[in-house]
Amino acid sequence: MPAPPYVVPDGPAVEIDGLVMRYGEKVAVDGLSFTVERGTITSVLGPNGAGKTTTLEVCEGFRRPQSGSVRVLGLDPTRQRRELLPRIGVMLQSGGAWSGVRAVEMLRHIASLHADPLPIDLLVDRLGLDQCGRTPYRRLSGGQQQRLGLAMAIVGRPELVFVDEPTAGMDPAVRRTTWALLEELKADGVTIVLTTHHMDEAERLSDLVHVIDHGRLVASGTPFELTRARDQATIRLVVTEPFPQGAPDKLRVALGDSTEVTEINEQSLLITGPADGSTLAKVSAWCEEHDVLPESLTLGQRTLEDVFLQVTGREFEA
């Protein structure tokens, strides 16, 4: 991908400080602060309804902050929207094209709005859009719509791209191509803000991860910092029948303060703590004492998904 023709200035690509957003009584974003450094891939993760899309919509200039401040490429996204728009790309979760327009026609139209667009043939080829170039948008598969959405977001050589669940509905091969494309964009100096429900995607691509829940920041760090630095391991316990009343609390007491027990649902637990034999032995003894039959008991290094479960206490509802 040819390098964008700009000089990278100093300062973060995105600065969010104390952002509050409400829909009526509902507080969607509750004093959120984080930054996105230039030239990085930064993931914003969180369960459904955590406030990710609302936050990104403010960054993209679609919504005005109700409280707090947001700067994007040093600009105010609502007051300086005209100046900002040519410098950013936005890939929406769905839509973004007229239903009857053919895929490549749509891409050509978006390209014509930019001063120095990327070559269309290059994008069509890289994203495998050649097979569906003449297909009307509404007839494209979910994965093809995503690919077209990504092409539309980057065709104007943006300095900063917001990509909302870019690989939803893509098959594994196309997912990998998309990852490679995002990594190439980063190598060219483009900043990428990613939201995804695929933790493997976030772990593989991100320089930095921000996890938000109920509109607040609950964890931040590199994937390495979040998964490894605390010298902790994870035990995942899935059982055949729902846990007996009060049993998880007894496990918490048995394991002590250095271990954290998160109830994921009525038949699975996530135990985070020192990866020693004594913890495993206590979990086995607890199973026996409560007549609980494990379906699986796995011990491993924490993954980003474990961190997500631990800090939000919730499973993904992708």
Q: Which of 8, 25, 313 is nearest to 191 (CA)?
A: 8
Does 14 participate in binding ligand ATP (rule CB under 6 A)? no
Provide the token pair at 14.
Answer: 């995105």
Return the number of the residue (43 or 54) whose C-beta is nearest ligand ATP: 54
| Region binding ligand ATP by CB under 6 A among candidate stretches 50-58, 181-189, 239-247, 288-296 | 50-58
| Region binding ligand ATP by CB under 6 A among candidate stretches 42-50, 61-69, 140-148, 278-286 | 42-50
Among 13, 16, 19, 28, the residue binding ligand ATP under the rule CB under 6 A is 28
Cα angle 212, 59, 226; round to 5: 30
Smallest distance from the beta carbon of 258 to ligand ATP, in angstroms? 32
| Region binding ligand ATP by CB under 6 A among candidate stretches 22-30, 129-137, 173-181, 222-230 | 22-30
Binding residues with ligand ATP: total (CB under 6 A): 11
The DSSP secondary structure of the chain, one letter per residue, reads -PPPS----SS-SEEEEEEEEEETTEEEEEEEEEEE-TT-EEEEE-STTSSHHHHHHHHTTSS--SEEEEEETTB-TTTTHHHHGGGEEEE-SS--S-TTSBHHHHHHHHHHTSSSPPPHHHHHHHTT-GGGTTSBGGGS-HHHHHHHHHHHHHTT--SEEEEESTTTT--HHHHHHHHHHHHHHHHTT-EEEEE-S-HHHHHHH-SEEEEEETTEEEEEE-HHHHHTTT--EEEEEEESSPPPTTHHHHHHHHH-TT-EEEEEETTEEEEEE---HHHHHHHHHHHHHTT--EEEEEEEEPPHHHHHHHHH------
Return the number of the residue (39 or 68) whose C-beta is nearest ligand ATP: 68
Do 104 and 120 meet the contact criterion of CB atoms below 8 Å apart? yes
The DSSP secondary structure of 160-179, one letter per residue, reads EEEEESTTTT--HHHHHHHH
Smallest distance from the beta carbon of 87 to ligand ATP, in angstroms? 23
Q: Phi and psi for 199 in degrees, rounded to 5? A: -70, -30
| Region binding ligand ATP by CB under 6 A among candidate stretches 51-59, 83-91, 122-130, 237-245 | 51-59
Encoded one letter per residue, x for contact with ligand ATP by CB under 6 A and - for no contact, window 275-304 reads ------------------------------
Among 4, 12, 51, 158, the residue binding ligand ATP under the rule CB under 6 A is 51
| Region binding ligand ATP by CB under 6 A among candidate stretches 23-31, 234-242, 283-291, 298-306 | 23-31
Among 49, 86, 117, 221, the residue binding ligand ATP under the rule CB under 6 A is 49
Does 48 participate in binding ligand ATP (rule CB under 6 A)? yes
End-to-end CA distance of the chain: 31
Return the number of the residue (21 or 107) whose C-beta is nearest ligand ATP: 21
Among 7, 26, 224, 277, the residue binding ligand ATP under the rule CB under 6 A is 26
Does 46 participate in binding ligand ATP (rule CB under 6 A)? yes
Does 112 participate in binding ligand ATP (rule CB under 6 A)? no
Strands 160-164 and 41-45: unpaired
Return the number of the residue (92 or 107) whose C-beta is nearest ligand ATP: 92
Return the number of the residue (48 or 67) whose C-beta is nearest ligand ATP: 48
Return the number of the residue (159 or 305) whose C-beta is nearest ligand ATP: 305
Smallest distance from the beta carbon of 115 to ligand ATP, in angstroms? 32
Site for ligand ATP in 53-72 (CB under 6 A): 53-54
Given the rule CB under 6 A, which residues bind ligand ATP? 23, 26, 28, 46, 48-54
